[in-house]
Amino acid sequence: MIPVAGSERIDSSVAMAAGYHASFFSGIGGFDLGFEKAGLKSVFLCEKKAFCRRVLAHHWPSIPVYKDITNVDPFNIPEADVWSAGFPCQDLSLARMGPRAGLRGNQSGLFHDFAALVRAREPKIVVIENVHGLLTSHRGRDFTIVLKTLDGLGYGVAWRVLNSQYFGVPQSRKRVYVVAVHRDPEGAGEILFEPECSDGDSSQSKRNGKESPSLFQTILGNPRTGPLVKGRAHCIYAESARHTGTDWSRNYVWYPSGRVRRFIPVEVERVQGFPDDWTDVQVEGREDPDSMRYHAVGNSVTPQVAEWLGKRIVSYLKATREDSLRGAA
């Protein structure tokens, strides 16, 4: 599919793509980086936070970054096969103490603004990513709303919880991925689930019935001089550099001398699967560079998970194009 609407904003290399991707709630581009590795070219970015917009502009200089999904005219979005949305999780996350506003919250409720754009343009494939809390918020009613909304717009829907630790990154990070395919009841399941027998994405799977040693207990590094680190990090959360709570105190680096420190920003990028210094961009005004980077990386999608999904989407798009060519012949 060749981008049409707003095509003056698209660089010429997109003509080579296996498909086109419009990214909403783009953050620092976890979906974009992973999908591009799979052959899907980003043609649209939308992100509210100025720091994240600078990261996006640094890596995708030819794509303008829309600021606010609530102001996007659906007919300014370039034609794209795949739309992704890791909508804000603040009102759904279990990390937040107290009652969760869920999809009624003014952050996570932005899902409805995304759905309105989907209604107007009906992209072939929609991918949604969110925290595990999406499944339980309001006793599952919020997740039902997400599924019913997509179903009501003519999409076949499937979902799966994927943990980044099974995609080659040293971090346990469980997230819900919803895939929806327009006018195809089977497509979403074909994209998200492998028919072939595999070890799967299950922390329960054991070879020969034996427990494998936990990487959380494995220690890597030089035992004489340090630094030392656990073989697998706990889930990285969005937080500031001044944060002293549970996250960094679970993920730390230590030295035989007794010194202990938190991960530095580039280490957080590594355990989240980004290239080094992906978020090392100019800060402005009173922004604290480390806080900006911790926060943005903690909110992001693991690019390797997006790449796996992207490859499966590309295979699906290829197969459906071949089918329609055969049908036309």
Q: Give the binding site for ligand SAM (CB under 6 A).
A: 25-28, 30-31, 46-49, 52, 68-70, 86, 88-89, 110, 299-301
Pull the structure tokens for residue 159: 């979902």
Pull the structure tokens for residue 289: 């560079």
The identity of residue 224, as a single letter, is R
Residue 59 beta carbon to ligand SAM: minimum distance, rounded to whole angstroms? 11
- Clarify whether 89 is annotated catalytic: yes
| C-beta of 23 vs 149, nearer to ligand SAM | 23
Choice among 46, 52, 89, 235 that is catalytic: 89
Of all residues in the shown chain, the one whose CB is closest to ligand SAM is 27
Residue 278 beta carbon to ligand SAM: minimum distance, rounded to whole angstroms? 10
Q: How far is CA 192 from the centre of its chain?
A: 15
Element (H, E) at 267: helix 265-271
Residue 186 beta carbon to ligand SAM: minimum distance, rounded to whole angstroms? 27
- 8 Å CB contact between 131 and 176: yes
Residue 79 beta carbon to ligand SAM: minimum distance, rounded to whole angstroms? 20
Sheet holding 219-221, edge to edge: 219-221, 228-230, 252-254, 260-262
Mind telling me the catalytic residues?
Answer: 89
